[in-house]
Chain A
Amino acid sequence: MINGNTYQATPPLQAHNSKELVLKEQSLFLSEYASTLMGSGVHTSRVIRNTKRIGKALGLEVTVSGLHKSLILSVVADHTGDSFSTMVEIPHSPISFEINTNLSRLSWEAHDEQLSFHEIVKRFTGLVSRPKLHPIVVLILSSFANASFCALFGGDCFAMGIVFSATLIGMFTKQQMLAKDINLFLSFITSAFIASLAASTSVIFNTTSDIAIATSVLFLIPGVPLINGFMDIMEGHVITGTARLINALLLVLCIAIGMSGTIMLTKHISI
């Protein structure tokens, strides 16, 4: 997608004779590829490596400058020396390890099998348009995962059950709010509040309620942005890394605000 429009490649030599137009088309595709990778939660250096690899397979030298919200690509054709620069917005898409893996694999396939540009675009379009995991499945799996976290932190069976149910409610709240394009931070605050409030009902029982409340919001922890932020800084992409870390820390702050809301309402609980 470029600015919301689906990118469709035209067979280069049939439709355009002009080499500049081919270069433009290839550059736009590479920017689309790189922004999709960035949007699906890949750290900057990997995005650059993969994009350069595809560029090399196409006989292009690619330079990528990564910012938090956008990418700037400069593409130079090896043979002619023609160049084309483009700037693309990074889409707000959910983190997807599947897209991450598949697009990385595509870059190796392009490199090893010397795929034509048209074939790369065809495979790319196929990969990004694959069906996503159904939200209900994500809901159930997240709840099981959170209940398992509760067990890992020493929660008993009742606490695990409560965390499972609290995560169902919290995660569903998050899914619905994000589906309605409600502000991300507000969605996180509300989801954390709802999930921890549901988990706080465990205090009436002689159970590990402190662990239940603490682990009920773990599904919201922005683990991938935090890791990517650190990796970006370690690999020299300080601006992107810092921006990602700040964004992730803001989300952590939102979780804390949501939990604080619950604790303020139920302030007699001794956690």
Chain B
Amino acid sequence: MEIFWRTISDYNAATWTFQLLLIIIGSILTISLYRDPNEKTKKAMKLFMVFLNLWIAIIYYLVFCSDRNYYYIFAIFWAIVACIWLYDLAKGGYRLERSYKYDKIAFVLYAIPFIYPAVSFARGMSFPSVTSPVMPCTVTIFTLGLLMSFSKKINLFLVLFLFHWALLGISKIYLYKIPEDILLTICTVPAVFLYFKEYISSDICTNSKPGNHAINLILLGTCSVIGIVFSYVIFKSFGYL
């Protein structure tokens, strides 16, 4: 636990200017993606996502979190996420096409990376020992927001990786009592449900059973179970159960 916060503190102290730069570039690219979603902007955003995920893998984990146990597993994990974006950039499978359906949810998700440090400050912590908008969980939420707004053709592989990260987040809440990650957990379950729903509705599996309505019900049931389990863990970890 002590090592956990010390590594975060070192990371923030050494990289806050770069983090600021990344936030500015990310914001500019996101705004341009909404204003003028042309091929250049889309490619630039994908390239940014590759860089952002590699940043987490290399700078965050390999450089600053090397005192943590098994840090290299997470570096590999984020490198794979970067590779998914890179593959997408090369192949053009996920076209970042706006769906307009979930824009409001997406804007809420964009705001959450900035709420993370606010929660840390509210808990009485001070810079640099606070969560920041360029950390694994916040990057996950930003990616979920991006995918939510541009969800015409979902990259489900990426979504599943992010869901896995959220699952690790719930474990961190339980074991290390980090309340900031509650935000990630709350966002992920409904987001995953919506991604799957979109994926099924855009899928071309015509000769399959059960029907889309039944599959959505199965998904809803599964996500509800996961949501209940997550809520139970959160309440239990803070002594309410």
Contact = CB atoms under 8 A, between A and B. Distances in A.
Contact of A165 (B167, B203, B205): B167
B215 A168 contact: no
Given A134-B209, A137-B210, A197-B76, A205 B171 contact: yes
A201 B156 contact: no
Interface of A: 129-137, 140, 158, 161-162, 165-166, 168-169, 172-173, 176, 194, 197-198, 200-201, 203-207, 265-266, 268-269
B135 to A, nearest CB: 16
Main secondary structure of the interface of B (DSSP, over half): helix
B157 A140 contact: no
B215 A169 contact: no
B14 interface: no
A167 to B, nearest CB: 10
B70 A166 contact: no
B72 A166 contact: no
A197 B68 CA distance: 18
B72 A266 contact: yes
Given A140-B218, A201-B73, A203-B70, A134 B208 contact: yes
Nearest to A176: B157
B205 A134 contact: yes
B105 interface: no
Given A136-B199, A136-B215, A265-B72, A165 B163 contact: yes
B222 interface: yes
B28 interface: no
B102 interface: no
Contacts of A131: 207-209
A34 to B, nearest CB: 23
B175 to A, nearest CB: 6
B94 interface: no
B211 to A, nearest CB: 9
Given A134-B209, A266-B70, A266-B72, A161 B160 contact: no
Interface in B120-160: 156-157, 160
A172 B74 contact: no
Closest 8 CB pairs of A and B: A131-B209, A134-B208, A165-B164, A169-B160, A131-B207, A165-B167, A203-B70, A131-B208
B219 interface: yes
Given A204-B70, A265-B72, A268-B70, A134 B210 contact: yes
A124 to B, nearest CB: 17
A266 B73 contact: yes
Nearest to A204: B70
A240 to B, nearest CB: 30
B73 A200 contact: yes
B76 A158 contact: no
Contact of A205 (B68, B175, B219): B175
Contacts of A129: 207
